Amino acid sequence: MKWTDVRPIAIELAEAHPDVDPRTIRFTDLHNWVVDLEDFDDDHSRGGEKVLEAIQAAWIDEVE
């Protein structure tokens, strides 16, 4: 997965962290969780605020 795979990343995060409310996660934690995903294979430094916001929004959609 790459940073642009927002929806698949959100799905994997929802499955990996079912007890976490994505509205309350800090972006530093979110960034770390994304790069720790088994299928993630992209430059860690490309995970800026805008892409993290998009992942967070998609994760919120997944849990609602």
* C-alpha–C-alpha distance, residues 31 and 29, integer Å: 5
* C-alpha–C-alpha distance, residues 49 and 38, integer Å: 22
Q: Are the beta carbons of 36 and 53 closer than 8 angstroms?
A: no
Q: H/E/C letters for each residue in the chain?
A: CCCCCHHHHHHHHHHHCCCCCCCCCCHHHHHHHHHCCCCCCCCHHHCCHHHHHHHHHHHHHHHC
- The total domain count for the chain is 1
The pTM score is: 0.94
At 46 the pLDDT is 93
Check which CATH number belongs to the domain holding 22 and give it.
1.10.10.600
Domain hosting residue 32, numbered range: 6-63
Q: Binning pLDDT at 50, 70 and 90, where does residue 60 land?
A: very high
At 61 the pLDDT is 97
Per-residue pLDDT of 20-56, as tens digits, reads: 999 999 999 999 999 999 999 999 999 999 999 999 9
**Looking at the domain assignment, is residue 1 inside a domain?**
no
